[in-house]
A and B are shown apart, each in its own frame.
Chain A
Amino acid sequence: DAKTTQPPSMDCAEGRAANLPCNHSTISGNEYVYWYRQIHSQGPQYIIHGLKNNETNEMASLIITEDRKSSTLILPHATLRDTAVYYCIVRVLTSGGYQKVTFGTGTKLQVIP
């Protein structure tokens, strides 16, 4: 199973770009990288996902390295409301053909005024 590794915590100044790294060195060819975030103890919220091309939506950008062994989530202008735990997830196909989702412990991003 592909696993992900993230730093446990990061700080970012308000208004600056927040760059959250994730290593997924055992990822295989058909596995997407997903990012979710969790604010306080609310249910996790989907942010963005990608396979091998860089992706951008209204919330964030996702940069995936060419070898796909790591990725970076970019919040271009962090606000205080972006303070949350960010999870990088790789979806894995089980032997039965179904997908398994494993969350790690994520990165706690603190946006500082």
Chain B
Amino acid sequence: EAQVTQNPRYLITVTGKKLTVTCSQNMNHEYMSWYRQDPGLGLRQIYYSMNVEVTDKGDVPEGYKVSRKEKRNFPLILESPSPNQTSLYFCASSPDLGRLAGLQETQYFGPGTRLLVL
């Protein structure tokens, strides 16, 4: 089954304790992205990756890191989490969200990771 998976689905941690949220897709998609969702603010893009080893900042990248060492995985790293990073996080992938040829591609979203930083 074609899907985007995220782990963990729920996480409670404390301020300053490094954590990684994994994201994996089995559709051989080039484009992957991370979003956070907060009440009243909708979905905001954190980072995105056009392909392996190519990443760029989204609208709210502060406090986050990403890596794209292989096509299927796009982990989100919080080096020193803070309470304002408490949020619902979504990973998404798309066949090609890059050049003009990819203008019609849709994104497939993972189930979400709910993070609480105390």
Contacts and interface: CB of A to CB of B under 8 A. Distances in A.
B37 to A, nearest CB: 8
Nearest to A34: B106
Contact of B45 (A43, A87, A101): A101
Grouping DSSP codes into helix (H, G, I), strand (E, B) and loop, the A interface class, with mixed when no group exceeds half, is loop
Contact of B43 (A91, A96, A98, A103): A103
A101 B50 CA distance: 13
Interface of A: 30, 32, 34, 36, 41-46, 49, 87, 91, 93, 96-106
Interface of B: 4, 33, 35, 37, 40-45, 48, 50, 56, 58-59, 88, 90, 92, 97-100, 102-104, 106-112, 114
26 contacts: A30-B103, A32-B103, A34-B106, A41-B112, A41-B114, A42-B112, A43-B92, A43-B110, A43-B112, A44-B43, A44-B90, A44-B107, A45-B109, A46-B106, A49-B104, A91-B97, A97-B100, A98-B56, A99-B102, A99-B103, A101-B33, A102-B45, A103-B42, A104-B42, A105-B41, A105-B42
